[in-house]
Structure formats: C-alpha cells, structure tokens
Amino acid sequence: MTTSIDAPAVTPAGSVLPPGEFELPAEGLLLSGPDIGEVETELVAAALRQPRLSGGAMVEHFEQRFAQGAGRTHGIAVASGTLGALLVLRAHAIGPGDEVIASPYAWHQVAHAVSLAGATPVLGEIDYWSGCLDAARAEVLVTSATRAVIVGNVNGHPAAWQAWREFARRHHVVLIEDATESIGSSYQGRRVGGFGDASIFDFSQPSLLCCGEGGIVVTDDDRLAHELRLLRSRTLDDRRSVSAGSRVPMQAGIGELTAALAAAQLARLPELLERRKVVEAWYLEQMQSFEGIKPPYVAPDVDEVFWMLYVVHLGKRFTASACDQIVEDLAVAGIEAARYCQPLHQQFHYAPGGSRRGQFPLVERIADRALALPLHAHLSADHVEFIVKTLKDSSVNVGAGAAIY
C-alpha cells in the first residue's frame, strides 16, 4: 500500500519511493509493536538449553534485576498483573465483606483482581488532567470495610503519590500501585514502582517491556514477599513444608522462556525508552498545527513521563460516536487506533443493571474523547506525519467542527 504525504521516505528494504510517498507495512500501522532484538533471541535460546523451563535461574535473575531497577528489595514474578494483585489481596486476607477503592478509568486488568478476590470494588473519580485516581475525592469513599486502594499511573503519568501515601497512612489501608502503563516514568526523583506497599507491573502488549504475558510484584516488605511466593506456586523445596502446605497456591508463576525475554527487554530498557521518546517528539511536532486538543500534561512534581500509547484528547464538541467514526476512518487508512478506555462503571459486571452514565463526569468526559494512537519503535517520522494528517482530516469529516476545550 503506497501512501502520499509531503515528504520522501525510504522503505525498510532501503529503496527510495517517489517524493511524497511511502510504503505502509502489509499489516498497517499497528497500535503497538514489541521491540525485539538480538539480545532477546540470544537469551531465550540460552534458556532453552537449560535443564529447567520453569522456576529456574532465569526467573530469579529477572526478579532480582527488576526489583533493583525499581529501587525495591523484592520482586515476585507472576503470570499477569491481575494475578499479582490478587496475590497481594490474598496475602492481606482481603476478600468477601471487604472494600477496595479503585479507578474506573484506564488499565482495568489489575482492578479486576478485586472482584476475583471476592471483595467489593468501590470506584472513584479521577483527576481531570492526569487521569489518575484522585486522593481528595476518594476521602468520601472510605468506610469501616475499606481495606485497600489500587492506584494506577495512567498512560505513563504518575499519580499524586505523596497524597496517596498520606491517604493510606491516615486510613490504615494497603496501598497498591499499578505501574503497568508507566515503565520509566518518575515522580519526585523516584521511578514508578516505588510508591505502593506493593507495586504491580504487567508485561502483556502494549506494555513497553513486553514478553507476551507475565508480570511482577515488587515490595520492600519481607513478610509480604515471603507470603506472595508461598501463594504464587509450590517449589520443589516446599514439598514437605508444613507451613507452605497450609496455603492453597495459585500456580501463578512464569516460565524460564518468559523470564528470559523479559530480562532481555529489561537489559535494553534505556534503549527502548529512548526510541519511544523519538517517536513521541515526532508526534509533538505534528500536533502543533492541530488546534484545540488537550495538550499532553505533566504535573509539577512529575520528573518524566513515558507514555504507553500516544493518547489524543479531543475537544468537547466531539461525541463518543464521532470518536468511533474517527477510529473507523483511521482503520480504513491502515492505521490501528482505539478509544483509550471503556470505563468500568459502564461495563456489565460492574453495572449489571446497565451503564450508570453520569456517575463520574470527569471519567466520562475524558473517556468519550480520548483516542489512542500507535506508539512504538517501528514507526518512522513519515508514519507519524501520515497518522496525524489522517486524524485531522477525519476530525473535519465527522462534522464535529473545531476541537474546543
């Protein structure tokens, strides 16, 4: 598929196309794409040559290195972020009759653990600018049954962790940080993953550090780390342990191949982050002429943000259906895009009687108009220019007029 823009381009094979044209990949411009290189191939091949494919040296190596990078004492690798959060809840004996405060917006998989644990999720309103759960608004949600709160760093932007630490201390609740979307971001001089009593990462696509499936829980709490390992899975050393046998494990660990892929990605993390920053800069340049959209926001106490996806917040003249039409227009042009979030309070499990529209005005205002665009290292400057130009054209075609915030 040959596409025209106002710049020459080079195909991956190196052949120069006529000025103003470039070649789209056969699969189109995907929303996300793992950045896999020789290091990953070599480390996975090395893992295949080892005598153990589960619970071996590669898993331990990855756990130690990841925890060290996050500034934490312990890392417990798990099969997914959801299972990691479920293990944390179980380790604190949180279940039926207990309440856990969570956000209805952004990455939902970790919050799903609340329902899986049998506890009651209590959803709260977000901060309009960052998209993260708002600590001040959550005060009214606290009851005698509140045992924990799950706070996410939405699309890379760290939550207001100073306020959340004070909230957790004041109400004596467990603070769980969902850092899945924010690998590399930092707040008040500290990398994400360092703010919760336990912090969760998930490594499924579109995570920057992507190993297909998998995740990790990091913590400084020795007792919690020990309990998480016992609840995660049995080891050979646990076969005759009376204390280990008193718990029912979830078999929620990862294998050596997954750990090898994750460890290789972790070793390349500075390179992965830098490559995405280049793509982000191309987006920022092209967006300068797109008037009326909500600009990328970075709070004053946030040092750096690494976005998971490039999310555009359209003006309030755009409706949710108009945004759906834009997604379709982009798909026709070979660009994969998506509405960034379908809020939890509008999903059947959390609203069995139907969508509770109007419950969270800020969540709905942002979710209705937030479009996720491709962000990964396989994009070129020409690709980004084409994506933004197509988005602009579609925003005019849907008849919504100028985007005014």
The domain that holds 158 is classified in CATH as 3.40.640.10
Q: Are residues 203 and 298 in the same domain?
A: no
Q: What would the mean pLDDT of 353-374 be, rounded to a whole number?
A: 87
| Domain match, 277 and 204 both | no
Q: How far is 214 from 230, CA to CA, in rounded Å?
A: 18
CATH code assigned at 315: 3.90.1150.10
Q: pLDDT confidence of 405, banded at 50, 70, 90? A: very low
- Joined together, the tokens standing for residue 79 give 């099969």
Q: Which domain holds residue 204?
A: 38-267
The neighbour count for residue 251, using CB atoms within 10 Å, is 9
Which pLDDT value is given to residue 396? 86
Sign of CA dihedral 391, 132, 196, 121: negative
- Comparing CA positions, the residue from 129, 300, 120, 107 lying closest to residue 207 is 107
Report the number of secondary-structure helices (H) and strands (E) in the chain. 13, 15
- pLDDT (mean) for 274-285: 95
Q: Which of 211, 238, 267 is the endpoint of a domain? A: 267
Q: What is the reported pTM?
A: 0.91
> Using CA atoms, how far apart are residues 272 and 387, in angstroms rounded to an integer?
22
Q: Is the pLDDT of residue 263 over 90?
A: yes
Q: Are 101 and 142 in contact (CB under 8 A)?
A: yes
Quick one: 229 and 116 in the same domain?
yes
Distance CA 281, CA 270 (A): 17
Q: Are residues 366 and 332 in the same domain?
A: yes
Sequence-ordered list of residues with C-beta below 8 angstroms from that of 30, at least 6 positions apart, any chain: 336, 374, 376, 378
Q: Which has more pLDDT, 294 or 163?
A: 163
- Does one domain contain both 44 and 188? yes
Residue 15 has pLDDT above 80, yes or no: no
In the three-class reduction of DSSP (H, G, I as helix; E, B as strand; rest coil), residue 275 is classed as helix
Cis peptide leading into 361, omega within 30 of 0? Answer: no
Distance (Å, rounded) from C-alpha 202 to C-alpha 65? 16
In a domain, 330, yes or no: yes
Contacts of 141 (CB under 8 A, 6+ apart): 101, 122, 124
Do 231 and 167 share a structural domain? Answer: yes
CA angle 276, 278, 283 (to 5 degrees): 95
Share of the chain above pLDDT 90, in %: 75
The C-alpha atoms of residue 218 and residue 295 are separated, in whole angstroms, by 32
Report yes or no on 291 lying in a domain: yes
Residue 405 in any domain: the answer is: no
More confident call, 142 vs 11: 142
Residue with tokens 């009687």: 353
Q: Which helix (H) or strand (E) holds 162?
A: helix 161-171
pLDDT tens digits along 319-352: 899 999 999 999 999 999 999 999 999 888 888 7
- Domain end marker among 209, 232, 267: 267
Distances in whole angstroms, Cα of residue 157 to Cα of each of 96, 178, 201, 204: 32, 11, 14, 19
99 with 199, same domain: the answer is: yes
Overall domain count for the chain: 2
